[in-house]
Amino acid sequence: MKDIAAAAGVSRGTVNRVLNGGYVSPEARTAIEAAIAEVGYVPNTAARNLKRRRSEAVGFLALEPHAVLLEDPNIGAIMLGANAVLSLAGYQMVSLVIDSDRDTERVARYLSGGFVDGAIIVSARAYDPITRLIAQIAMPAVFIGHPPDLDNAIPFVGIDNVGSAREITSRLIATGRHRIGMIACALNRDSGGDRLDGYRQALGDRFDPALVAEVPHYDYLGGVNGMRELLEREPGIDGVFAASDAVAAGAMQVLREAGRDVPGDVGVVGFDDSAWAARTQPPLSTVHQPAREIGRHAAELVHRQIGGQTDVPRSVLLPSPVVWRNSA
Amino acid sequence: MKDIAAAAGVSRGTVNRVLNGGYVSPEARTAIEAAIAEVGYVPNTAARNLKRRRSEAVGFLALEPHAVLLEDPNIGAIMLGANAVLSLAGYQMVSLVIDSDRDTERVARYLSGGFVDGAIIVSARAYDPITRLIAQIAMPAVFIGHPPDLDNAIPFVGIDNVGSAREITSRLIATGRHRIGMIACALNRDSGGDRLDGYRQALGDRFDPALVAEVPHYDYLGGVNGMRELLEREPGIDGVFAASDAVAAGAMQVLREAGRDVPGDVGVVGFDDSAWAARTQPPLSTVHQPAREIGRHAAELVHRQIGGQTDVPRSVLLPSPVVWRNSA
DNA sequence: TTGTAGGCGTTATCAA
DNA sequence: TTGATAACGCCTACAA
């Protein structure tokens, strides 16, 4: 900057004014702009951050084991939604992969080092060190999904998993199914537990633990294994609520191999309304998860916190309607 | 830092020495460490960067339209591979979504602002402004996939798309197929063009343009449309090389609906060896793309450049063997 | 082994 | 409208 001040024959203060707005005479301005173009000058952000005490960047943290991260059909859409909003607000979204303890530590340093002004956190587990750090340094942040900790200092954006699960299970009942099972996943995460709760609520007295197969992940393989288990335990099963579309796809594959017609013999419903849902044969009835919107709202919430607003909602619950197709 | 120097009753110089190594007396050290723990002090990275002129971070840039990004089965694995290496070297990988012109501009500022010491670039298009910027400011960088520009200042990591496509097509020929079509995608990208070239080379004189269906993206829908087109143009088709596994999955769905048996009536092969390949019925013969390794090598290449090494290879080509399953 | 002091490139304040 | 100047928090000589 010194260089271009010299080149334009003005002081650094004036250069700064054309950069960041202020009173500058036309002659000075053109001279400076010419010099900037000449040298290809770009302000040093480290210096700027040091002075301004902010980075104009927001971190997007996915605290997932990586296999899960890659399978998740929603996370990409959430990122894009968040990026759209942040981008418009002039913020750089930087997403950080946390894939080991070493990562955790480094990310912690990164966050407290002033590289970002805020954070969007996807599927934090309870007592995660990163989560605690963020709360401790009072960094503007938002969770996607339920907050994992009891203290609700950090707002969250999500959907009503319980309600939607209850609703889609109810409609399975309404279509005359009698032995309705569930393939439940990821019970250590809020979404997993909530969907199981919804299923249970819908069934009420007719709930039968023998009809619930538990599998670790929301993936195709989980659907395959879960369905096999269910079929073995209850050959007369005529309805299945799979905790995600990928799981439902795996389940349908097993049903096909077992010679059961969907939806004739067995009704199947999923969750997410992801690309899977359109690809299954027949297309899947499922719960629409507004991933893009979730990302948008999350970004807005951090942005408002960064801006110092105090009237930020503690939580935002987005509608997640059932999409009725042909699998049930 | 001033604070903790005061708290520990020493000078800032001494504090710095316990932070970054140097001669410090045991008493001073313990006092300082206590003070650090007390306050929860973390060094300000902006200031440190300003002084050291580096950030210990590497950018991961995917210059893709977002829809493509979400569909790509490899990009996640590449990121994880890169992150593993960078993490070990103490670098923070930050991935930046580029989803609009506004994004491009902001990312450019971000890069030249000293937020990262190097960059890994996925599927840059020719004449991309970001690419040019990186070359211009001589930032350590590496491309994943062919370099889009003629000047080869920036090394790249990839696979031999032409060779692998040729090989898998050849084996389709060797199994006795006579009318072998291809569903080609993304011809505006190097991988797309190269795979078509390999197919053409394998067929030699028997190459027939009427047997090539072009679709825009490497996705399931592309496979569906491409296969329909091919079937219409040449009902006697008995072999198909799909430019990716997702495309192959779409094609197989159409073949199934048309009553053609795979591999009995039509042999189908894909490319990527992604999760799709195991899910299709029958499992897909395909080309294994070592995505994780690609990420690893890319990270190593930038890291070595950042370290000032000059003997960095201009390119790394990883093996991409054919995986023979049951679809052909 | 420790303290002091100057500067990294910006921004912000204050006079002029 | 402009220029000088003092921070921002850290690192690194150099002196003690």
Which amino acid would we find at residue A21?
G
CB atoms B103 and A83 under 8 Å: yes
A107 to chain B: closest CA residue: B92
Q: How far is CA B173 from CA A32, B212, B243, B267, in A?
A: 66, 16, 17, 10
The string of pLDDT tens digits covering residues B130-169 is 888 888 888 999 999 876 665 678 899 999 999 999 999 9
A148, pLDDT greater than 70? no
Q: How far is CA B141 from CA B45, B100, B113, B122, in A?
A: 23, 22, 16, 11
Give B113's DSSP letter: T
CA–CA distance, B314 with A169 (Å, rounded to integer): 57
Residues A60-89 have a mean pLDDT of: 81
A220 to chain B: closest CA residue: B279
B204, pLDDT greater than 60? yes
pLDDT of residue B203: 96
Hits for CB < 7 Å against strand D across A residues 149-168? none
Closest CA to A210 of A180, A185, A186: A180
Interface A–B counts its CB contacts (< 8 A) at: 126
The residue assigned the tokens 């329909």 is B228
- Domains belonging to chain B, first-starting first, are 2-42 (no CATH), 55-159+292-318 (3.40.50.2300), 161-287 (3.40.50.2300)
Q: What percent of chain A has pLDDT over 70?
A: 96
The string of pLDDT tens digits covering residues B112-135 is 878 899 999 987 766 788 888 888
pLDDT of residue A65: 65
The string of pLDDT tens digits covering residues A179-212 is 999 999 988 777 889 999 999 999 999 999 999 9
Å: A34 CA to C7 C1': 28
Q: Please tell me the pTM assigned to this model.
A: 0.86
Q: Cβ atoms within 10 A of the Cβ of B326, count?
A: 12
Q: Is B93 on the interface with A (CB under 8 A)?
A: yes
Q: Is B94 helix (H, G, I), strand (E, B) or coil?
A: strand
Question: How would residue B74 be classed by pLDDT, with cut points 50, 70 and 90?
Answer: confident
Closest CA to B274 of B317, B230, B243: B243
- Reading the block at residue B68, the tokens are 């493509």
A150, pLDDT greater than 60? no
pLDDT of residue B290: 95
Question: How would residue A163 be classed by pLDDT, with cut points 50, 70 and 90?
Answer: very high
Question: How would residue B92 be classed by pLDDT, with cut points 50, 70 and 90?
Answer: confident
CA–CA distance, B196 with B214 (Å, rounded to integer): 10
pLDDT of residue B67: 58
A320, pLDDT greater than 60? yes
B188, pLDDT greater than 80? no
Q: How far is CA A227 from CA A121, A182, B58, in A?
A: 32, 9, 43
Name the CA dihedral angle for B54, B55, B58, B62, rounded to a multiple of 10 degrees.
Answer: -100
pLDDT of residue A121: 93
- Picking from B55, B76, B84, the nearest residue to A70 by CB comes out as B76
pLDDT of residue B271: 96
Check residues A52 and B227 and name the one with the higher pLDDT.
B227
Return the ∠ at Cα A130 (arms to A129 and A136), rounded to 5°: 90
Strand ranges for chain B from DSSP E = 57-62, 92-97, 118-122, 141-144, 156-159, 180-185, 212-215, 239-242, 267-269, 286-287, 315-318, 322-323
B104 to chain A: closest CA residue: A87
Question: How would residue A169 be classed by pLDDT, with cut points 50, 70 and 90?
Answer: very high
pLDDT of residue B111: 87
Q: Is A219 helix (H, G, I), strand (E, B) or coil?
A: coil
Q: In what order do the strands lie in the sheet with A239-242?
A: A212-215, A180-185, A239-242, A267-269
B177, pLDDT greater than 80? yes
Q: What percent of chain A has pLDDT over 90?
A: 55
Q: Are strands A322-323 and B212-215 parallel, antiparallel or unpaired?
A: unpaired
Helix H segments across chain A? 2-8, 12-20, 26-39, 45-52, 66-71, 75-88, 101-112, 129-136, 161-174, 190-203, 220-233, 245-257, 275-279, 291-306
The answer to whether the beta carbons of residues A51 and B60 sit under 8 Å apart is no
- Picking from B70, B107, B109, the nearest residue to A76 by CB comes out as B70
Check residues A26 and A99 and name the one with the higher pLDDT.
A26
A87 neighbourhood in chain B, CB within 8 Å? 99-100, 102-103, 106
A218, pLDDT greater than 90? no
* Min Cα–Cα distance to chain B from A1, Å: 13
Residues A298-314 have a mean pLDDT of: 93
CB atoms A88 and B106 under 8 Å: no
Q: Cβ atoms within 10 A of the Cβ of B93, count?
A: 27
CB atoms A279 and B45 under 8 Å: no
- Reading the block at residue A251, the tokens are 């389940």
Q: Which nucleotides of D are covered by protein (CB under 7 A)?
A: 1-5, 7-13
> For residue B37, how far is the Cα from the chain centroid?
40
Question: How would residue B76 be classed by pLDDT, with cut points 50, 70 and 90?
Answer: confident
Phi, psi of A54 (to 5 degrees): -165, 165
- Picking from A50, A83, A102, the nearest residue to B97 by CB comes out as A83
CA–CA distance, B301 with A269 (Å, rounded to integer): 47
The string of pLDDT tens digits covering residues B285-296 is 999 999 999 999
Task: Mark which residues 287-316 of B lie under 8 Å from A by CB.
Answer: none
- Reading the block at residue B180, the tokens are 């072998």
A99 neighbourhood in chain B, CB within 8 Å? 80, 83-84, 87
Residues A101-107 have a mean pLDDT of: 87
B76 to chain A: closest CA residue: A70
